[in-house]
Amino acid sequence: MNKIFDIQRKFRFTVYVLLAVSLLMTGFSTFVFTRSMVLVERSRQKIYVLDNGKSLLLALRADITDNRPSEAKDHVKRFHELFFTMEPDKQYIENNAREALYLADGSAMKQYQSYKENNVYNQIIASDISMTLTTDSVQIDFSAYPYQFRFFGRQKIVRKSNITIRNLETSGRLRNISRTDNNPHGFMIEDWLITDNKDLETMKRKSF
């Protein structure tokens, strides 16, 4: 009889041990799986840079420094494209102007108000005029701060009867500011001035 109880005791002990081991392995497996998923998700959120054997930190610092002049030129280019690209649509003109004015100080607002007072925008809408801008070059002097710049471009003005090509040259300064959603480059255009905006040629549109 004692042998039967002893066998049952050993059997129960073995079952308990196996159950404990199974629970431990299940818990460990769950932990490993969860941890692995977290690490995979974190790795997806990171960008690893390899730049000719440089360390990640050095590569990132060099990239920021090297890109700043390019950002400055793109900022100036973007401002002019927004300010001078127009279609015979009031909402389109206002949206472009609003985006452009985030990139510059009151000197741009002064020019915008001048256009409004001289009915430039109303004439574009009433006469179905389209205006586009092509950038020729952007020159920026980084030797002194704030950075002096000059913009050179061509305006194409399409009317019902003709197309006019107009020269556009402007000047101003660039000041560093914090990056925002409306100003992703982190520059502010100051003392902006249109220095030349004369007609270069006018061509009659072909009739079909």
pLDDT digits (tens, 9 = 90+) for 72-113: 999 999 999 999 999 999 999 999 999 999 999 999 999 999
* Better-scored residue on pLDDT, 47 or 20: 20
**98: region left, alpha or beta (phi > 0 left; psi from -120 to 50 alpha):** alpha
From CA 103, how far away is CA 144, in angstroms rounded?
20
CATH placement of domain 68-204: 3.10.450.230
- The pLDDT value given to residue 62: 46
Q: Please report, for the chain, the start and end positions of each structural domain, with discontinuous segments joined by +.
A: 68-204
What's the chain's length in residues? 208
In order of 12, 87, 128, 159, 200, the CA distances from 206 in angstroms are 100, 20, 17, 12, 19
pLDDT digits (tens, 9 = 90+) for 139-197: 999 999 999 999 999 999 999 999 999 999 999 999 999 999 999 999 999 999 999 99
The pair of three-digit structure tokens given for residue 193, joined into one six-digit string: 């001035």
